[in-house]
Structure 1
Amino acid sequence: MPPECQLLGTLGCHLCELAEDVVMPLVYDCELMVELIDIADSEETVEAYGLRIPVLRRGDTGQELDWPFDTEQVANFLL
């Protein structure tokens, strides 16, 4: 079973929408659990991720995958 992940982004970010489109099929096909995190909810996350979003972060290791990524890269990231 794949690890739980967080997809960090914000509303109105078209790259974040593209990243969600890449990740969501894995949610349905592979039972991947993804929490969507809006970085605008915290000044700390805006400072840390404001220029990097979207970012996919593994819950188990904290490892991060920065945009751009495709389905194959996400699948390899989750191994």
Structure 2
Amino acid sequence: MQAEYYLYSSEGCHLCEQALQMCNPFIANGKLSVIDIVEQEELVEQYGVHIPVLERLDNGEKLYWPFTPHQINELITEWN
């Protein structure tokens, strides 16, 4: 199964850890992949000061931190 959502994150980011906890159910089913931005320079430039960022790949819609579990559910409506 290919990921339908990305969570842009970075190791050691305490806000990213909070976002990961909220997204764990969606990561477990394989539709959400965590992308460490440090591995790609263009992602550092794009998201470095904004992480964590949750992106829906089919339409490019993004949630920038801070976001809530309710906002995640609204973005990921087909999982409800």
TM-score, structure 2 as length reference: 0.83
Structure 1 consecutive aligned stretches of length 4 or more whose deviation exceeds 3 Å: none
Q: Is the 8 A contact 2:55 2:61 kept in 1?
A: yes
Counterpart amino acid of residue 12 in structure 2: G
Alignment correspondent of 2:66:
68
Alignment correspondent of 2:7:
7
Counterpart amino acid of residue 57 in structure 1: E
Alignment correspondent of 2:37:
39
Q: Is the 8 A contact 2:53 2:65 kept in 1?
A: yes
For residues 72 and 42 of structure 2, the distance between their equivalents in structure 1, rounded to whole angstroms, comes to 25
For residues 66 and 50 of structure 2, the distance between their equivalents in structure 1, rounded to whole angstroms, comes to 10
Secondary structure of the corresponding residue to residue 76 of structure 1: helix
Unaligned runs of 5+ in 1: none
Alignment correspondent of 1:54:
52
Corresponding position: 1:19 with 2:19: yes
For residues 9 and 74 of structure 1, the distance between their equivalents in structure 2, rounded to whole angstroms, comes to 15
Q: Is the 8 A contact 2:8 2:34 kept in 1?
A: yes
Q: Which has the higher contact order (CA 8 A, sep 6+)?
A: 1
Superposed CA offset, 1:22-78 (max 9, x none): 1113445xx461111000011111000000000000111111101111111100112
Unaligned runs of 5+ in 2: none
